[in-house]
Amino acid sequence: MAKPRVAFVTPVDPRHSFRGTEKIIYKYADYLARNSLETEVLVPSYHFSSKQKALNRVSLPKTIEEHRIHGVKVRLPFRYDLYFYYPLPKGAVVYLPYSPYTNMPNLISKPRGQKLIVGLHGLHLRNGRLTDGHDAMEGMLVSMLKLLVLSREDITRNVYYHAINSAQKEYLSSLGIDRSHIFHIPVSIETEELKAAQGGSGPLRVLHIGGKDKDASRVAEIIVELKRRHMLDGFEFFFIGKDQPDSLVELARRNKSVHLLGSITDAGKNLQLSKADVMLVPALEAFSVTLLEGLASGELVIARRSNPQTAELRSTGISLLQADDLSSYLSALLGASRMKRAGRLSTLGRRNAAVVRRRFSAAALMPKILKMFESVARDATHG
């Protein structure tokens, strides 16, 4: 069988952003290209304000071929976005990020017979329902999806879905999507680049990555409460990310135990991971790469209880703490501090790291990504 042609649409021009989803897209493209698939990345031509400064171009692997594609992004109420890309390359399996809802225009307008894979990097669920404001529109969105998309035979036959957590898989199945069209493959990390956490004595070293977008303001509230209780001296907080809330900037100015590291290199991030005892992950995400990196570095992770990723990780034998309000985050941090003093953090961290490296490494999961594309393309009938 001839190797399939594959095209990835990156949601944002990497000259302006190169965050989680963009990095994952380019990692997939690089891996498929190195495995002899004809692969390209399609970069959308959104209109950017002249006030936006382009970032320095990241160093991309030479295997990746990029092309421009027209892109339209429409903002609807409740911060809900629709994306439309054209023209999609004929004869290729096209990977579209985010969700079936945001990609409804692409699903409806796709060439007949063309295979699409929708990667669910933007489908956030809480207790099996949509979140991030989309829950206010959920009934309408589901009705539109079933009426305009899932009722069409060509779409049900030729559109596939890449679920990155098990909750997404169950959600799609509840919509009536055939399970044979749903691939459940978590996001992977490059475990060989990470060093084990150093441990040691002293204050509990707590790390947060991502700034405002990853609920850094929640961590600021925790620091304020620790200070109110005269307990802040037992902790050191480190924040990676250039866009931090004003409350956190003020705390760093007034407290020597709060450190804002700004944007740093991947090597610098990995160094901080190796020094930390605990990683805080208060944001609701489909599948947090930083959470996995913290676990793979031997840190204890304290994550948001409603994050579907936590249940999936715990089912593999990984031990992490869950919290959902200020009181439970404080209890978890104080418990971690006691574990450090008792010398139990390092033992727990090593056990977690071994599971992550075995189950969520790129070496374990990227071959499954390759098989997904080969499977979708196997019976392709492109014109």
Interstrand relation of 300-304 and 235-240 (parallel, antiparallel or unpaired) = unpaired
Whether 198 shows a pLDDT value over 70: the answer reads: no
Lowest-pLDDT range of 131-135, 158-162, 370-374 = 131-135
- Confidence tier at 49 by pLDDT (50, 70, 90): very low
pLDDT tens readout for residues 336-363: 999 998 888 888 888 999 999 999 999 9
Paired tokens of 13: 């021009």
pLDDT tens-digit map of 244-266:
999 999 999 999 999 999 988 88
Tell me the CATH number of domain 191-359, given options 3.30.70.270, 3.40.50.720, 3.40.50.2000, 3.90.10.10.
Answer: 3.40.50.2000
The reply to whether domains 5-188+362-378 and 191-359 share a CATH topology is: yes
Q: How confident is the model at residue 2 (pLDDT cuts 50, 70, 90)?
A: low
3-class SS of residue 209: strand
Please give the C-alpha separations between residue 280 and each of 209, 210, 301, 304, in angstroms, as whole numbers. Answer: 8, 11, 6, 9
Give percent above pLDDT 70 in the chain: 90
Tell me, what's the pLDDT at 383? 39
User: What burial letters (b/e) apply to 160-171, b meaning 16+ CB within 10 Å?
Assistant: bbbbbbebbbbb
State mean pLDDT over 53-72. Answer: 72
Q: Where are the domains of the chain?
A: 5-188+362-378, 191-359
Nearest to 215 by CA among 304, 300, 123, 98: 304
Q: Which pLDDT score is estimated for 58?
A: 56
- 60 confidence band (pLDDT: 50, 70, 90): low
pTM: 0.88
Going by DSSP bridges, is the β-strand pair 80-86/65-76 parallel, antiparallel, or unpaired? antiparallel
How wide is the angle at C-alpha 88 spanned by C-alphas 85 and 93, nearest 5°? 120
Give the mean pLDDT of the chain. 87
Three-state secondary structure call for residue 12: coil
Q: What is the per-residue pLDDT across 261-309, written as a single tens digit (0 to 9) for each?
A: 998 888 899 999 999 999 999 988 888 899 999 999 999 999 998 888 8
- Domain 5-188+362-378, architecture per CATH: 3-Layer(aba) Sandwich (3.40)
- As a dihedral over the C-alpha atoms of residue 324, residue 330, residue 333, residue 335, rounded to 10 degrees, the angle is -100
Q: Where does the pLDDT of residue 78 fall: very low under 50, low under 70, confident under 90, or very high at 90 and above?
A: low
Strand residues in the chain grouped as ranges (E): 5-9, 38-44, 65-76, 80-86, 92-97, 116-119, 125-126, 129-130, 159-163, 182-184, 204-209, 235-240, 258-262, 278-281, 300-304, 321-323
Residue 66 pLDDT grade (very low, low, confident, very high; cuts 50, 70, 90): confident
